[in-house]
Amino acid sequence: MTFSPGTHFGPYEVISLLGEGGMGQVYRGRDPRLGRDIAIKILAKESAHDKDALIRFEREARAIASLSHPNILSIHDFGDHEGTFYVVTELLNGETLRERIGSIPLSWREAVDIGASIAEGLAAAHAKSVVHRDLKPENIFLTADGRLKILDFGLAQTDPLLAGQGDEATVPTQVFQTAPGTVVGTIGYMAPEQLRGESVDATADVFSLGCILFEMVTARRPFQRGSGAATIAAILKEDIEHDALAEVAPQEFQRIVEVCVEKAPGARFQSSRDLALTLRAMASSSTGVRRELFATLSRSPRKTKSIDSIAVLPIRNASDDPNADYLSDGITEGIINKLSQLPKLKVMARSTVFRYKGRDVDAQAVGRELRVRAALSGRLHEIGNRLIINVELVDCADGSHLWGEQYNRPLADLMTLQEEMSREIADKLRLRLTGAEKKRLRKRSTESSEAYQLYLKGRYHWNKRTEESLKKGIALFEEAIGSDPSFASAYAGLADSFLTLGTNVPLPPRDAMPKAKAAAMRAIEIDDGLAEAWASLAAVKWWFDWDWSGAEADYQRAIALNPNYATAHDGYAMLLCARGRFDEAIEQITRATELDPLSRIIAVHSGWPFVFARDYETAVKRFRKALDLDEDFIPAHGWLGLALGQQRRFDEAIDAIQHALRVNRLPILEAMLAHTNAIAGRREESLELLASIREAAKSRYISPYDIAVIHTGLGERDAALRVLQVAFDDRSAWMVFLEVDPRLEPLHDEPAFRELAAKLG
């Protein structure tokens, strides 16, 4: 509904329509009492019945009314006229920053001046505890007389860490809170923590301003990609294009932007006021003053908050006995697991940090490589029945020594030692822990030192992931359970071992999966707060039980218990792929990659959503990136070959799969090669491989699903469907991907295929 000139809202008269948006219209108006023109923002009738829209409308009015600054839009009134809600603000003449940029970059000096004005307006808002949360060029207005105004505080919220720190009264907090997990803002400008639905503080606005600074001088959004999901992944994972900035602006400008868009909130400018001063210094005619002030202000704000990310590097076994590796590895993993349960702390996953095992590395350099604020390193000596451990905690931002300690304890006190070290680290990181979080750090899963050492040895062998080592691990976990039948973590280790045997090593799922499920459920019976057990149970539920909703609920439970558990995010991503929910899968695998950036298998899984969504070009790029981590990694070559085959780049596909087969002749790889030969028209080669696989199946387990894939490639639909029925009866693990696997697409219109899909749920 549009209001005609002369319509009144309270004492205000409508003159003309200025613009329309999703929530209503903005009119040029007149306040006859004061004889001035004003702007009237009117909430649309349909939005007036929408509780969330009405709250947002009132939120914006309250936020602006609480602020008084030349760079923030001024509000004059807020009211309800016969059921129509309206806000009266000052009338602006000019253009938005979006219109100013257009497709032509601004000079860096103009960008600095605009950025400083924005930062000064934000500083005023932050002083009143108000975080904008939707800063973007559309919400920055440049007036005809050279002023700047920040608009649209409809998504604003209070920052509880700032509340009460301003010079004047703050805005009522109840108006501005957002439920945890809710994502609000504009993709492309939201900080990583905002995208993840976490609580945000003033540094989220600093991140958005950094994006705007980049866009002003390049006329491009720094993280914009071809899709919303890809843009989110870029914000969470990728750096800005340094070369693009270097071409158009001085080094100081580039560093300011880099600090603004740091992934970790604690690594950004902690004050918009400091950012404004730094930008004003950029405009100084004195290069020396400019660089000196920049150097001071770009570093000092980072010290004011707790450190929110850490890499616990493998503690080096400095003993003469290599058998003590299980102790050094186990203590490292134990600290990682303890700290991972703290939701305010990002902890790099085991598989990433253990890539540095045995290497003489600089903790600060590793921290920069992994994009964490702190790194812990240490050395272990086992002397008789005593452990001597030296540890050092380093601030990766500047290399400063945060804390160091030497522990000399009996081996029997190993669990107490890990708890003590974890508490000390949390304290030195300046983390403010709740009572429940402190309790988690103190909690131990067994009182038996013997059982715990057996458990560490079991995990040591499980991490090798070979059939022989997994069976050794199972024996050790069972021995640990014999020593302490109430040891939940040992049951979780047992579940993980059987699960790996049933999925990664070719053993019949009906042999391995029920054992994995029983062990996981027993672990949960003993300790329902054990994230690893919930993730293992979730994996069994969807790989074997085909209980999709139950598996999803269990993955969500695992992630809630331990947000840093990369394996849970990774497993959940695969489940979402199988369900065709590719954007959600990308979000989960991106989070897993953040937590475990050097994990080879997670790097491979990051390409899965794109294969199943038929975006093969992106998938190929992801698999090649995984090969950068390990050029001989079998799954990366196999999946690269699969994606290239779907692009009909058959020679490249066959080369990739053959590379993997030279490392290990796994049946799943032979099936991939046979299928690729079949769709490439090399029928004889495909039939020869099929015969070889069938012969091998007489003496070892080979998934019927893989054989069905080959028949599909050969165009033998009836044979493929018969073998898929066998795979269904066998509960072959890969049946969960039946509907999304592109290799089976030729069968989709077959009634028998649709019947199988329906049975899978």
* pLDDT, tens only, 156-179: 665 433 333 333 333 333 333 444
Tell me if 617 is assigned to some domain.
no
pLDDT at 292: 59
What is the per-residue pLDDT for 344? 79
Beta bridge mates, 86:
42, 79
Would residue 606 count as lying in a domain?
no
Q: Is residue 640 part of a domain?
A: no
> Residue 303 has what pLDDT?
43
Comparison of pLDDT for 603 and 434, the residue scoring more: 603
Confidence band of 430 (pLDDT split at 50, 70, 90): confident
Q: How confident is the model at residue 33 (pLDDT cuts 50, 70, 90)?
A: confident
568 belongs to a structural domain:
no
Alpha helices in 20-133 (DSSP H): 45-48, 51-65, 97-101, 108-127
DSSP state of 665: -
Q: What is the pLDDT of residues 61-115, one digit of tens each?
A: 776 677 778 999 888 888 888 778 888 888 989 999 999 998 789 999 999 999 9
Distance from the Cα of residue 594 to its chain's centroid: 5
Which CATH number is 127's domain given?
1.10.510.10
Indicate if 56 and 115 belong to the same structural domain. no
* Domain termination residue (choose one: 286, 304, 322): 304
Which of residues 422, 444, 466 is at a domain's end?
Answer: 444
Can you tell me the distance from the alpha carbon of 217 to that of 2, in angstroms, rounded to the nearest whole number?
38
pLDDT digits (tens, 9 = 90+) for 293-333: 555 544 444 444 568 889 999 999 888 777 778 888 888 98
What is the residue type of 477?
F
Is there a single domain that holds both residue 270 and residue 370?
A: no
Please check whether residues 295 and 315 belong to one and the same domain. no
CATH of the domain at 84: 3.30.200.20
295 Cβ contact list (under 8 Å, min separation 6): none
**Which of the four pLDDT bands, split at 50, 70 and 90, describes residue 714?**
very high
Q: How far apart are CA 26 and CA 41, in angstroms?
A: 4
Find the helix or strand (DSSP H, E) in which 458 lies: helix 449-462
Beta bridge partners of 80: 85
pTM (2 decimals)? 0.58
pLDDT over 70 (residue 528): yes
**Out of 31, 134, 159, 329, which one is annotated catalytic?**
134
Which residue intervals of 465-615 are DSSP H helices? 467-483, 488-503, 509-526, 531-540, 548-561, 566-578, 582-595, 600-605, 608-612
**438 assigned to some structural domain:** yes
Predicted local confidence at residue 47, as pLDDT: 55
Average pLDDT score over residue span 342-356:
86
Same domain, 68 and 106: no
In a domain, 201, yes or no: yes
pLDDT at 23: 66
pLDDT: which is higher, 267 or 147: 147
Quote the pLDDT of residue 717. 96
Residue 267: CB atoms within 10 Å: 23
Which region among 31-35, 117-121, 546-550 has the lowest average model confidence (pLDDT)? 31-35
Tell me if 684 is assigned to some domain.
Answer: no
Claim to verify: residue 361 and residue 379 sit in the same structural domain: yes
- Report yes or no on 342 lying in a domain: yes
Give the range with max mean pLDDT: 384-398, 501-515, 705-719.
705-719
107-136 pLDDT, tens digit per residue, is 999 999 999 999 999 998 888 878 888 899
Same domain as 271, residue 382 = no
Residues 408 and 363 in one domain: yes
Locate tokens 């598996």: which residue? 551
**Cα 358 to Cα 322: distance, rounded to the nearest angstrom:** 12
Of 251, 296, 289, which is closest to residue 275 (Cα–Cα)?
296
Cα–Cα distance measured from residue 21 to residue 43, given in angstroms and rounded to the nearest whole number = 10
Alpha helices (H) in 463-508, listed in sequence order = 467-483, 488-503
Of 71, 90, 109, the position where a domain reaches its end is 90
Cα-flanking dihedrals φ and ψ of residue 648, to 5°?
65, 30
From the CB of residue 313, how many other CB atoms can be counted at a distance below 10 Å? 25
Confidence of residue 54 (pLDDT cuts 50, 70, 90): low
Structural domain boundaries enclosing 365: 309-444
pLDDT, mean of residues 534-549: 94
Are residue 139 and residue 21 in the same domain, yes or no? no
Residues 24 and 98 reside in one and the same domain: no
Strand partners, 37: 30
**51: confidence class by pLDDT, cuts 50, 70, 90:** low
Q: Specify whether 144 is located in the same domain as 161.
A: yes
For residue 32, what are its two tokens? 């006859």
Domain count for the chain, please give it. 3
Question: What is d(CA 350, CA 596) in angstroms, rounded to the nearest whole number?
Answer: 8
**Which of the 8 DSSP states describes residue 572?**
H
Same domain, 116 and 168: yes
Task: Compute the radius of gyration of the chain from its Cα atoms.
Answer: 30
As a whole number of Å, the end-to-end CA separation of the chain is: 46
Based on the residue annotation, tell me whether 320 is a catalytic residue of this protein.
no
Q: What is the pLDDT of residue 312?
A: 93
CATH of residue 334's domain is 3.40.50.10610
Same domain (yes/no): 82, 174: no
What is the average per-residue pLDDT within 689-715? 93
